[in-house]
């Protein structure tokens, strides 16, 4: 430890470390010192703060150890610990008047009255029983590792009594002093110390594999600095002093790198996610750390020159979320949202979400922690007209969705802007090569799937059974099978040319795969047997699984994809790369489809069949294709055969099946006229 002698009382720290160590308290052992230079060679008690264990299985034993240690601490009796004096108590009470009342509130207390109050408090303190305490004994100064508690930051331990009023008045004065000094010495917009921010950093970053196999995405370096450090520094410059970061994938690396945030001028605390909760679930899980006031939200995989001080600090009641938009990048044919007069008015359009938002936590009040995407919340707010927005005209990059070549180029590019521009251009070129590669594989997949289907007409194929059981497993992973899952599975059946009896059997395998007890791993062993088409079949199945995940992505589905790919003999890096390529391609395809109008004149009378398709889906003929897809999902959800009662007649079941086919045909017809 380096502790400059001019700034710290190292003699006292060493004395207290010796005293507490002699009383068997869990303080770090000091092996060697150089008090002149301020160097200490000390025992490492770890880096996991007690706060990080809240809500985990270790919370109860850790808190029990903290309470037992506190009781043990109160029994320490040693002359090396100086007592509190009346003079010291009076000085500390003066902090309240000087820094909080006079400098922060800019008010004036009646001097005689305040002096009388202080005198009563000091006299009361002098008469009360005294014991030794750690005056900053809280979850950020307590470490817990391997079942053992560790105490740090005990330079100013003294005799102290339990006097709540004196303690609180002094604390108010101290925090007012910190705030006032911070604002005068390092001006921040509106000195907004109460504003908190959350950085979403729990994801696995699978699209950046293999880089993220050993390094969490927020710690990947951009121009020589971790991406998340760029973000924290920008937040600190805007006045944020408290940052919450959610952690899951390689989260210990992030907390070890950033620590408590003191090196960046902020106070960082961490929201642990034993299992990934997606963006929306991660926000709800962190609410106890974020409080009841609006906070800023920032995706952990973006870089921008946005000035965060331009964000609102309060939100109107009718707009509980406010987001930042920017013009869609040149490599995208369609944006995420439409915008007008400070409000998001719809989906599609020319703007994309920057991954920056202001959120009123009351929006999620009373909601249980669950898996869901924050984008679902945004879409719901758009429908109710309650999503506010502003436009950022500066630079912005989504590191998580750049093509693999572009990502690597940006991450490793020198800080020089010219090299950064060259890197991005090269990366986009590599991205186009990946698109061409993926298109060739798509054609090969159709041929391979057709061969698997033809082979099954004559004898059992384990590849066919594994394929549809795996599709069922992925579809069920997030909790509920979506219409898009069913539509894609039926599309695969069509590509394979399955007969009606075999299609029914494939549907049965799909249902079997949804059952977590189905022995899908045992089935995969048959797929690994060497055959003439075995390797191509496994690759085509993997790409089918990746496509289904890309249609409705979730952390649970990605986990199943990794397992299913592993059962087929593919390494995690290979599965991640395959998924990244297919997900990027699928995203570009859907963005091309999410636009209004047909190829024909808008004023011309629509084709009767097309008009009937819109009517079946109950949407206007001028609706965007994104709106059409939404209507299709609603219709499928209402009319799906699974919704029929157990005593439904065969005629009812057939009518429901026919309705599914008609809805799908209507969607395909509209899609064909929208491109």
Digit-coded pLDDT (tens) for 459-502 = 557 788 888 999 999 988 867 788 788 888 888 888 788 888 88
Most confident option among 336-340, 435-439, 613-617, 666-670? 336-340
Q: How far apart are CA 561 and CA 489, in angstroms?
A: 16
Q: At 294, is the pLDDT very low, low, confident or very high (cuts 50, 70, 90)?
A: very high
Task: Write down the pLDDT at residue 369.
Answer: 87
Give the CA distances from residue 407 to residues 163, 243, 304, 397, 573, in Å, rounded to whole numbers and listed in that order. Answer: 57, 26, 15, 10, 16
- Ranges 362-376, 625-639, 657-671, most confident: 362-376
Compute the C-alpha angle 271/276/277, nearest 5°.
80
pTM for the whole structure? 0.40
pLDDT at 442 over 60: no
What integer is the mean pLDDT of 437-454? 54
Buried/exposed code over 457-474 (b: 16+ C-beta within 10 A; e: otherwise): eeeebbbbbbbbbbbbbb
> CA–CA separation, 167 vs 93, rounded Å?
8
Which segment of 144-148, 342-346, 372-376 scores lowest on mean pLDDT? Answer: 144-148
The answer to whether residue 607 scores a pLDDT higher than 70 is no
pLDDT of residue 598: 41
Q: Which residue has the higher pLDDT, 321 or 585?
A: 321
Mean pLDDT for the chain? 77
Decide if pLDDT at 69 tops 90. no
Instruction: Say if residue 321's pLDDT is above 90.
Output: yes
Indicate whether 439 pLDDT > 50: no
User: Does residue 421 have a pLDDT over 50?
Assistant: no
Q: What are phi and psi of 346, to 5 degrees?
A: 180, 180
Section 402-413 average pLDDT: 42
Query: Does residue 201 carry a pLDDT above 90?
Result: yes
Q: How far apart are CA 394 and CA 307, in angstroms?
A: 9
The one-character DSSP state at 53 is G
Contacts of 222 (CB under 8 A, 6+ apart): 230, 303, 399, 410, 411
Q: Give yes or no for residue 261 having a pLDDT over 80.
A: yes
Q: So what's the pLDDT on residue 448? A: 61
The C-alpha atoms of residue 418 and residue 403 are separated, in whole angstroms, by: 20
**Residues paired with residue 221 on neighbouring β-strands, in sequence order:** 226
Residue whose entry in the numeric block shows the structure tokens 């069509």? 494
Please compute the mean of the pLDDT values over residues 521-543 and round it to a whole number.
69
Percent of the chain predicted with pLDDT > 90: 15
DSSP one-letter code for 97: I
Q: What's the rounded Cα separation, in Å, for the pair 239 and 617?
A: 49
Average pLDDT over residues 575-587: 77
> Span 43-62, mean pLDDT?
77
- Contacts of residue 114, defined as CB under 8 A and 6 or more positions apart, other chains included, come to 97
Stretch among 179-193, 246-260, 652-666 having the lowest mean pLDDT: 179-193
Cβ proximity of 345 and 325 under 8 Å: no
Distances (CA, A) of 521 to 239, 383, 390, 402, 472: 53, 43, 50, 34, 14
Q: How much is the pLDDT for 588?
A: 63
State the number of CA atoms in the 13 A half-sphere of 283 facing the CB.
Answer: 28
Which DSSP helix (H) or strand (E) runs through 617?
Answer: helix 608-617
> Which token pair is 175?
């925090």
Q: Give me 310's structure tokens.
A: 């331009």
Distance, in Å, from the CA atom of 258 to the CA atom of 252, rounded to the nearest integer, reads 10
Model confidence over 323-342: pLDDT tens digits? Answer: 999 988 776 677 889 998 88
% of the chain residues with pLDDT over 70:
76
CA 578 remoteness from chain centre:
23
How do 302-304 and 242-247 pair as beta strands?
unpaired
CA dihedral sign, ordered 284, 290, 291, 294: negative
> Maximum Cα–Cα distance for the chain, whole Å?
101
**Average pLDDT estimate for 359-375:** 90
**For position 532, what pLDDT does the model report?**
42
In the predicted model, is pLDDT for residue 13 greater than 60?
A: yes
CA–CA separation, 240 vs 231, rounded Å? 11
Question: Residue 175 has what pLDDT?
Answer: 67
Other beta carbons less than 10 A from residue 129's beta carbon:
6
pLDDT at res. 443: 44
Q: Per-residue pLDDT for 545 more than 80? A: yes
Q: Which residue has the higher pLDDT, 490 or 105?
A: 490
Q: Which domains, from first to last, does the chain contain?
A: 47-187 (3.90.1200.10), 191-401 (3.90.550.10), 417-593 (no CATH), 608-674 (1.10.287)
List alpha helices for 96-197, DSSP H: 111-127, 164-185
Over residues 532-547, the mean pLDDT reads: 75
Average pLDDT of the segment spanning 33-62:
78
Of residues 102 and 165, more confidence is placed in 102
Average pLDDT over residues 218-239: 86
Is beta strand 351-359 parallel, antiparallel or unpaired with respect to 321-327?
Answer: antiparallel
Higher-confidence position of 59 and 383: 383
Q: Which pLDDT score, from 0 to 100, does residue 576 have?
A: 81
Q: Which residues pair with 126 in a beta bridge?
A: none
Q: Is the pLDDT of residue 449 over 90?
A: no
pLDDT band at residue 229 under the 50/70/90 scheme: very high
Query: Highest-confidence range of 198-202, 426-430, 589-593, by mean pLDDT?
Result: 198-202
Does 507 have pLDDT greater than 50?
yes
pLDDT band, very low/low/confident/very high, at 529 (cuts 50, 70, 90)? low
**pLDDT at residue 595 in the model:** 45
Q: Which residue has the higher pLDDT, 567 or 235?
A: 235
Tens digit of each residue's pLDDT (9 = 90 or more) over 150-189: 887 664 444 444 355 666 676 677 666 655 544 444 444 4
Flag the least confident range among 72-76, 383-387, 630-634. Answer: 630-634
What is the model's pLDDT at position 283?
Answer: 95
Does residue 563 register a pLDDT over 90? no
Asked if 264 and 172 count as a contact pair (C-beta separation under 8 A), the reply is no
Contact call for residues 609 and 665 (beta carbons, < 8 A): no
Distance, in Å, from the CA atom of 1 to the CA atom of 45, rounded to the nearest integer, reads 12
- What CA–CA distance (Å, rounded) separates 588 from 590? 6
> What's phi and psi for 268, nearest 5 deg?
-105, 135
In this prediction, residue 355 carries a pLDDT of 93
Residue that wins the pLDDT comparison between 354 and 333:
354
Q: Which residues lie below 8 Å from residue 112, measured CB to CB, with a gap of 6+?
A: none
Task: Estimate to the nearest angstrom the gap between the alpha carbon of 234 and the chain centroid.
Answer: 19
- Output the pLDDT for position 434: 42
Contact status, residue 568 vs residue 544, Cβ threshold 8 Å = no
CA 423 from chain centre, in angstroms, equals 27
Q: Which residues pair with 358 in a beta bridge?
A: 296, 322
């Amino acid at each position: 430890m380096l502790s400059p002698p001019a700034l710290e009382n190292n003699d006292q720290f060493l004395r207290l470390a010796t005293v507490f160590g002699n009383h068997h308290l869990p303080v770090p052992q000091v092996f060697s010192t150089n008090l002149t230079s301020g160097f200490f060679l000390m025992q490492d008690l770890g880096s996991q703060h007690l706060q990080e264990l809240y809500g985990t299985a270790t919370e109860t034993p850790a808190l029990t150890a903290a309470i037992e240690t506190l009781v043990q601490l109160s029994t320490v009796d040693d002359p090396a610990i100086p007592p509190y004096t009346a003079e010291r108590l009076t000085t500390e009470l003066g902090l309240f008047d000087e820094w909080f009342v006079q400098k922060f509130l800019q008010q004036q207390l009646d001097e005689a009255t305040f002096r009388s109050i202080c005198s009563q408090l000091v006299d009361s303190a002098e008469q009360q029983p005294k014991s030794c305490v750690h005056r900053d004994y809280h979850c950020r100064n307590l470490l817990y590792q391997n079942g053992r508690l560790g105490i740090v930051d005990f330079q100013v331990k003294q005799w102290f009594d339990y006097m709540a009023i004196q303690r609180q008045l002094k604390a108010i004065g101290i925090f007012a002093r910190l705030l006032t000094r911070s604002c005068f010495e390092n001006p921040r917009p509106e000195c907004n110390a109460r504003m908190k921010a959350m950085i979403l950093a729990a994801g696995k970053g699978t699209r950046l594999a293999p880089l993220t196999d050993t390094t969490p995405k927020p710690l990947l370096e951009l121009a020589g600095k971790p991406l998340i450090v760029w973000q924290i520094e920008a937040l600190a410059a805007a006045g944020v002093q408290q940052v919450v970061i959610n952690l899951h994938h390689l989260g210990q690396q992030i907390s070890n790198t950033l620590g408590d945030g003191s090196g960046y001028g902020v106070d960082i605390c961490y929201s642990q996610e034993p299992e990934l909760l997606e963006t929306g679930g991660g926000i709800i899980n962190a609410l106890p750390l974020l409080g009841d006031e609006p906070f800023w939200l920032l995706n952990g995989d973006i870089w921008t020159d946005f000035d965060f001080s331009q964000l609102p600090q309060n939100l109107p009641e009718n707009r509980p979320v406010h987001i930042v938009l920017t013009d869609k990048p040149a490599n995208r044919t369609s944006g995420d949202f439409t915008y007008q007069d400070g409000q998001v008015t719809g989906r599609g359009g020319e703007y994309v979400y920057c991954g920056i938002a202001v959120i009123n936590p009351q929006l999620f009040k009373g909601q249980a922690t669950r898996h869901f995407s924050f984008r679902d919340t945004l879409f719901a707010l758009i429908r109710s007209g309650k999503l506010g927005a502003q436009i950022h005209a500066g630079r912005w990059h989504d590191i998580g969705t750049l093509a693999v070549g572009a990502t690597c180029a940006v991450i490793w590019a020198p800080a020089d802007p010219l090299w950064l521009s060259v890197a991005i251009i090269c990366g986009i070129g590599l991205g186009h090569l990946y698109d061409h590669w993926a298109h060739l594989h798509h054609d090969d997949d159709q041929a391979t799937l057709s061969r698997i289907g033809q082979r099954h007409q004559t004898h059992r194929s384990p590849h066919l059974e594994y394929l549809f059981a795996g599709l069922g497993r992925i579809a069920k992973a997030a909790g509920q099978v979506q219409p898009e899952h069913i539509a894609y599975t039926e599309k695969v059946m069509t590509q394979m040319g399955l007969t009606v009896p075999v299609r029914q059997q494939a549907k049965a395998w799909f249902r079997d795969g949804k059952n977590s007890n189905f022995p899908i791993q045992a089935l995969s062993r048959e797929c690994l047997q060497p055959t003439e088409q075995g390797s191509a079949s496994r690759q085509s199945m993997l790409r089918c699984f990746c496509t289904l995940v890309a249609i409705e992505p979730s952390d649970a589905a990605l986990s199943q994809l990794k397992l299913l790919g592993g059962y087929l003999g593919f390494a995690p890096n290979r599965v991640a790369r395959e998924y990244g390529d297919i997900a990027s391609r699928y995203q570009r395809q859907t963005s091309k489809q999410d636009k209004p109008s047909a190829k024909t004149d808008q004023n011309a009378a629509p084709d009767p069949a097309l008009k009937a398709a819109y009517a079946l889906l109950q949407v206007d003929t001028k609706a965007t294709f994104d709106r059409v897809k939404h209507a299709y999902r609603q219709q499928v959800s209402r009319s799906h055969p699974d919704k029929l009662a157990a005593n439904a007649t065969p005629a009812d079941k057939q009518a429901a099946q026919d309705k599914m086919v008609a809805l799908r045909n209507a969607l395909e017809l509209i899609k064909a006229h929208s491109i």
